Structure 1
Amino acid sequence: MTVTHTWSYEGTELAWLRAALAPSDDRPGHVVAELVPGGFAAYLRIFHRFEAADGSGRTRRWRDLAQESGALFHGELSHHRLRGADGPDGRPLWQPVDGEPDAGTRQALVRALTGTTGGRPVFFGYDLALLVRGADGPAVRSSPLDRLESVRADMTESHTYLVGPEFWWPQDRSWVVTSDYDLVSSYIGCPAELAERILAEPGIEALPVTLRTRVDFSSDHLNRPSEM
């Protein structure tokens, strides 16, 4: 007998957030409004760094690869437009981290956000990344922001190869970070002052975006393959 589970947010801390996200429409692609609630003064795309495919732990930034590729560095840039990410034989030399920010970006983001949240608890939500692993429902953990890595370790111990968290937000809901499990960038909605702090943080590569900015891999209409 096949048993099916209904994925429900009822009674969870994720319920308000999921209800605040815009549904996908009939237009091609997907936009920031499907990932981050509306109503914030500023929105940013936070680029996950590229990691060396040889496992050496080396990383590179999108802006550098864009410059090498002759591509414009902008809020809808697709990694598929970056030739510097592949070697002469077409095999990837550099791969963008998907599903979650790389370790360096996470640490820098925690630094930038701590000035707003202090030691108050933050919610860390795991959603579709759990669904694809057969979980019965989403999970939310509450912890001080500087305990993010402990939360990640605990969740990974229970669910092998789990990425995330997919959502971070403080109790006052003054900002929301979304790291969709199959995207190569995270997105944040926040006050303007916090956005400026994040943009000024040297450990973070970010650009301003809007709720209508495309987030899918076919979003880049400024860097056409024929122009590269």
Structure 2
Amino acid sequence: MVIAAKDAPQSLMDCCLASLARLNRARDLEIVIVNSGVFPEPCARFGSSFHAFRRVEMAPKGVYAAYNRGISEASGRYLLFFGVDDIALPGMDSVIGTLEQSSPVYDLYAATAYMQGIGMSKPARARTAILFRNWCHQGLFYSREYLVQHPFDLDYAIQADHKANIEILADRSLRIGRSPELVSYFATGGASQTAHDLRFRRDLPRIAGENFGPAYRLTVALKQRIANVVKGSPVARR
């Protein structure tokens, strides 16, 4: 588990770590907190609840830079990424148990997350659906070995995980798993929910084409044009 923290409020960090510590399988977790800025020191009291617990410091370079640092610091087979305002739910115990018994290791194992104000976010069955709707990051368990070789692309400040998920799902040689278990509560309202990664949006047709073929490059580009027209119409502005 990698948690990115930047000047984390005490109350949020306590809530996040307490939710992980309450899991029946908390002792199976390695927690790596990648911190930028002021850190609420009392949070160290949760450390004894986990298999391993540590904090690493780095300059504030964005959430995906923090996640990439966490990838290099972690040692477990799987990585799940949280922000300090996210909460683990009991279904995570079941998924951890499944992953401990799975062999070979999944490259990506996707479970269900609850998105604040939106509802359930479940992984789609069709791989190409990822081009049009990303899977909720707080429900995704990645192979650490895969991410060591394919870290998040720092060219995309908000949607680097979407690019990574497209690349994973497009590769038919990779092992993908899905679970209906509800594993996390994702607190929306951060940058990923209140802003658009304009560079990612610009590059998405190319990314789609490189991974799924030329037809999908055209499909994504057309869908973007239609969306732009609808958003600019009088009906959309009412």
Q: TM-score, normalised by structure 1?
A: 0.27
Q: TM-score, normalised by structure 2?
A: 0.26
More helix by share: 2
Larger RCO: 1 or 2 (CA < 8 Å, sep 6+): 1
